[in-house]
């Protein structure tokens, strides 16, 4: 039986550590390392950054759900015909 590759071992370790953000980014990061475009320290920074971004996004989603605020609305959702005193040109 063939031993798992380093990439497979890293993926397994990230999964064991429950780091899905880093796990999702690891292939692209390692491709940069293999190509010489990224140093080891930069690769670690990118993996940790990906994990932190995912964690923060999930934290924000959980906070929004638990706040029980009405649905999130954006300017794209705003009905300018309902409020004619507001001109789209002024907003854009």
With 90 as the cut, is the pLDDT of residue 47 above it?
A: yes
pTM for the full predicted model: 0.72
The predicted-structure confidence for 49-85, as pLDDT tens digits, reads as follows: 999 999 999 999 999 899 998 887 888 888 888 888 8
The predicted-structure confidence for 15-30, as pLDDT tens digits, reads as follows: 999 999 999 999 999 9
With 80 as the cut, is the pLDDT of residue 92 above it?
A: no
Residue 87 has phi, psi (to 5 degrees) of -95, 135
pLDDT in the model for residue 69: 87
Which two three-digit tokens encode residue 42?
Answer: 């930069």
d(CA 92, CA 87): 9
CB 24, CB 50: distance < 8 Å:
yes
Q: Can you give the residue ranges of every domain in the chain?
A: 6-91
CB 29, CB 61: distance < 8 Å:
no
- What is the average per-residue pLDDT within 29-51? 96
- Rounded to the nearest 5 percent, the helix, strand and coil shares of the chain are 65, 0, 35
């Amino acid at each position: 039986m063939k031993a798992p590759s380093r990439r497979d071992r890293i993926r397994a370790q990230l999964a064991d550590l429950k780091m899905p953000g880093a796990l999702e980014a690891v292939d692209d990061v390692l491709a940069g390392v293999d190509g010489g475009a990224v140093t080891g320290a930069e690769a670690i920074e990118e993996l940790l950054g990906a994990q932190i971004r995912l964690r923060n996004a999930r934290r924000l989603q959980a906070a929004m759900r638990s706040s029980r605020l009405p649905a999130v609305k954006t300017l794209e959702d705003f009905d300018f015909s309902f409020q004619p005193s507001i001109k789209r040109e002024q907003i854009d």
